[in-house]
Amino acid sequence: MRIIDPIMKLLRFLKWKLMQYIIRIPALRYLGFECDAFLRKYWSKLFYNLTNAYFDKRTYDVLLIYPKSDVDKSILPPYSLLSVAGPLIKQGYRVKIIDQRIDPKCANHIARILKRGIICVGVTFYTGSQIKYACQLIDYIKEHYPSVKIIAGGFHASLLPYQTVQYNNIDIVVIGEGERTFLDLVAAIEKNTDLNDIHGIIFKEDNKIIRTRKRESINLNDYYAINHSAIIKYNLIYPINTLFTTRGCNGNCSFCAVPVLYPERRTVRPELVIEKIKEILKTGIQKIYFLDDNFFADFKRVEEILNLIIEKKLDFSWWAESRIDQVLKWEDEFLIKLKKCGLSRLYLGAESGSDRVLKMINKNITVDMIINANLRLKKSGIIAEFTFMAGFPTESPSEMKQTQDLIVKIKKDNPRSLIWRLNKYTPYPGTRLFDLCLNDGFSPPESLKEWSDIHFYRSAYDSEYEKELY
Ligand code: B12
């Protein structure tokens, strides 16, 4: 151990403590973020390179990369990579996550790490422009370090594994959940053992593409280990804590990629959720956004979580997602209890103002139900935030007008309600609606790189919710 090590450790701790105070005060939060950006941009030689000169001396076993995209507005922590990093770190591997969204010198940083040798590099990406930046970084790595194994994972790679692994510079694709698969894979690459034994991957070998057996779903309770204090820097950019407590969804909407990738819904047990809540409230921001696709799918579990919030006197405000049919089933007492426990905003997928479209996308709701849920939430004092889409296959202009009219009615009935976005529908591979698009004349991209040009997701108008954050 070098003499500088404990000093650096202390400095990092003090920086973390300072950040805790900065993010509590909005004006300072802005200043903190601006300073951080300023330091990274202009003082890079003096400050950034100086501190990184120290970090650069460290050797890593695994490098994980989160590429930027053209739609990086809300920069949330890279949960996909944090989730696969957790089990590796627990096994003693040294893992580095590079997030291009907040690291302008990302390529230099990657080069410095790779120079010292590595077992492999993992890259994640969604369908869309993130692929473009992922491919740029992957190509850069292979050009300079051709022997480094590159592993792709995430929604897009899992939905189109054959096409993804066909990309020249990608060696292996992890299909679906990465916690177990990546751990086994890193060990196999390190020890040079047979990749055929690793379930849940697809890889190239002697000009052949080999897909191994399907990987069983994990028990989330065994892998609930994201260290939230290590990602506090993201609170400078997006001043709300985010948390997952489930995987998968009980809905089966035909436009959505979640039931395709995670057909089996799993939950984290209430006691563990409460432990995590306590841990993340230590960041100083008393706001949590539960990113679960449907936090409320298991009613009994939610009741237990609420009881524990009351019992432990946890005082924080939170946002979560639910379904309109569920809201209509809740008793008034339950809504009161939710409000009492801090629920301030509920996200609901309304999607369309046309009953025919709602049926076609398998939403299991009607326009009347959307109107009623809005009125119920108005009464409860919980802010309802609705999401909508337009441009579904077979959707007519008059049906789009119905959506527009519904949005106006929602705002009129309940002026405090919010419309998250009117998104343009994007055909995501693997979904049932994707097949309908094919019948409707959509010709899908035929290679990984071409998928980066799918720009349908630009919203027709922007979110109202960010305004309230600052
Ligand atoms: C939070 C979220 C966001 C956040 C960003 C999250 C972040 N950290 O930056 C915001 C709001 C910014 C966002 C934006 C968008 N999102 Co979004 N988002 C989500 C959401 C709700 C959670 C994602 C998440 O973190 N999951 C938790 C992690 C742990 O799960 P995971 O990502 O699947 O990762 C696991 C595996 O995939 C795998 N894995 C992932 N990466 C890697 C890498 C390696 C090397 C390995 C080995 C394994 C591996 O292992 C992980 C652990 O098991 C999902 C829905 C969902 N339930 O997942 C949609 C989802 C991912 N989003 C989606 C979409 C469409 C978008 C947008 C295009 C929307 C828009 N209109 O702009 C943009 C694109 C942003 C971009 N970067 O390109 C789609 C993606 C579909 C697709 N085919 O790619 C999803 C699935 C929603 C849906 N209903 O279809 N999103």
- CATH label of the domain that carries residue 341: 3.20.20.70
Whether 166 and 303 share a structural domain? no
The answer to the question of residue 11 being in a domain is: no
Instruction: Identify the pLDDT of residue 469.
Output: 35
Query: How remote is the CA of residue 129 from the centroid of ligand 1, in Å?
Result: 13
Based on the structure, what is the number of domains in the chain? 2
CA 229 – CA 98 distance, rounded (Å): 17
CA 413 – CA 366 distance, rounded (Å): 17
List pLDDT tens digits, range 310-367.
999 999 999 999 999 999 999 999 999 999 999 999 999 999 999 999 999 999 999 9
The answer to the question of residue 108 being in a domain is: yes
- Check whether 50 has a pLDDT greater than 90: no
Instruction: Report the b/e string of 194-213 with b at 16+ CB within 10 A.
Output: ebeebebbbbbeeeeeeebe
Whether 183 and 224 share a structural domain? no
CA 291 – CA 78 distance, rounded (Å): 13
Q: Is the CB of 258 under 6 A from ligand 1?
A: yes
Whether 298 and 229 share a structural domain? yes
Task: Return the ligand 1 atom nearest residue 159 CA.
Answer: 83
Whether 188 and 315 share a structural domain? no
Name residues whose C-beta falls within 8 Å of residue 352's C-beta, 6 or more positions apart in sequence: 358, 361, 363, 388, 389, 390, 392, 395, 399, 402, 403, 406
Among 7-11, 149-153, 285-289, which is the least confidently predicted range?
Answer: 7-11
Task: Return the ligand 1 atom nearest residue 155 CA.
Answer: 84
Q: Which domain holds residue 272?
A: 220-469
Tokens of 32: 């903190």
Instruction: Identify the pLDDT of residue 430.
Output: 87
Instruction: Identify the pLDDT of residue 323.
Output: 96
Summary mean pLDDT of the chain: 87
Question: Of 211, 244, 274, which one is at a domain's C-terminal end?
Answer: 211
CA 194 – CA 175 distance, rounded (Å): 18
Query: How remote is the CA of residue 68 from the centroid of ligand 1, in Å?
Result: 13
Instruction: Identify the pLDDT of residue 15.
Output: 65
In the chain, pLDDT over 90 holds for what percent of residues?
68
**Which band of pLDDT confidence, cut at 50, 70 and 90, is reported for residue 171?**
very high
Whether 460 and 405 share a structural domain? yes
Task: Return the ligand 1 atom nearest residue 74 CA.
Answer: 12
Mutational test site, ligand 1, from 62, 79, 469, max ligand atoms within 8 Å of CB: 79
Whether 110 and 239 share a structural domain? no
The answer to the question of residue 437 being in a domain is: yes
Query: How remote is the CA of residue 154 from the centroid of ligand 1, in Å?
Result: 7
Q: What is the DSSP letter of 62?
A: E
CA 213 – CA 134 distance, rounded (Å): 27
4-22 vs 26-42: helix crossing angle, rounded to 10? 140
Task: Return the ligand 1 atom nearest residue 77 CA.
Answer: 8
CA 219 – CA 214 distance, rounded (Å): 16
Instruction: Identify the pLDDT of residue 26.
Output: 59
Q: CATH no. for residue 202?
A: 3.40.50.2300
Q: Is the CB of 161 under 6 A from ligand 1?
A: no
Mutational test site, ligand 1, from 100, 155, 222, 388, max ligand atoms within 8 Å of CB: 155
From residue 446, alpha-carbon distances to 6, 131, 167, 245 in Å are: 52, 14, 11, 35
Best CA proximity match to 417, nearest among 405, 409, 427: 409
Question: Of 211, 230, 262, which one is at a domain's C-terminal end?
Answer: 211
Tokens of 448: 């990984």
From residue 408, alpha-carbon distances to 66, 273, 415 in Å are: 38, 37, 10
Atom 63 of ligand 1, residue of closest alpha carbon:
126
Whether 385 and 439 share a structural domain? yes
Question: What is the rounded average pLDDT of the residues 91-109?
Answer: 89
The answer to the question of residue 232 being in a domain is: yes
- Check whether 46 has a pLDDT greater than 50: no
Q: Is the CB of 291 under 6 A from ligand 1?
A: yes
Whether 189 and 226 share a structural domain? no
Whether 245 and 281 share a structural domain? yes
Instruction: Identify the pLDDT of residue 240.
Output: 83
Q: Are 23 and 36 a contacting pair, CB within 8 Å?
A: no
Output the pTM of the full model: 0.89
Instruction: Identify the pLDDT of residue 19.
Output: 63
- Check whether 51 has a pLDDT greater than 70: no
Collapsing DSSP states into helix, strand and coil, what is residue 289? Answer: strand
Atom 39 of ligand 1, residue of closest alpha carbon:
154
Length of the chain: 470
Question: Of 153, 183, 211, which one is at a domain's C-terminal end?
Answer: 211
- Check whether 48 has a pLDDT greater than 60: no
**Which band of pLDDT confidence, cut at 50, 70 and 90, is reported for residue 424?**
confident
The answer to the question of residue 51 being in a domain is: no
Question: What is the rounded average pLDDT of the residues 246-254?
Answer: 93
Mutational test site, ligand 1, from 66, 80, 220, 291, max ligand atoms within 8 Å of CB: 80
Q: Provide the H-helix boundaries in 218-269.
A: 234-237, 258-261
**Which band of pLDDT confidence, cut at 50, 70 and 90, is reported for residue 77?**
very high
Instruction: Identify the pLDDT of residue 460.
Output: 40
The answer to the question of residue 396 being in a domain is: yes
Whether 234 and 87 share a structural domain? no
**Which band of pLDDT confidence, cut at 50, 70 and 90, is reported for residue 201?**
very high
Whether 253 and 367 share a structural domain? yes
Whether 186 and 236 share a structural domain? no
- Check whether 109 has a pLDDT greater than 90: no
Instruction: Identify the pLDDT of residue 348.
Output: 97
Query: How remote is the CA of residue 56 from the centroid of ligand 1, in Å?
Result: 29
Instruction: Identify the pLDDT of residue 459.
Output: 46
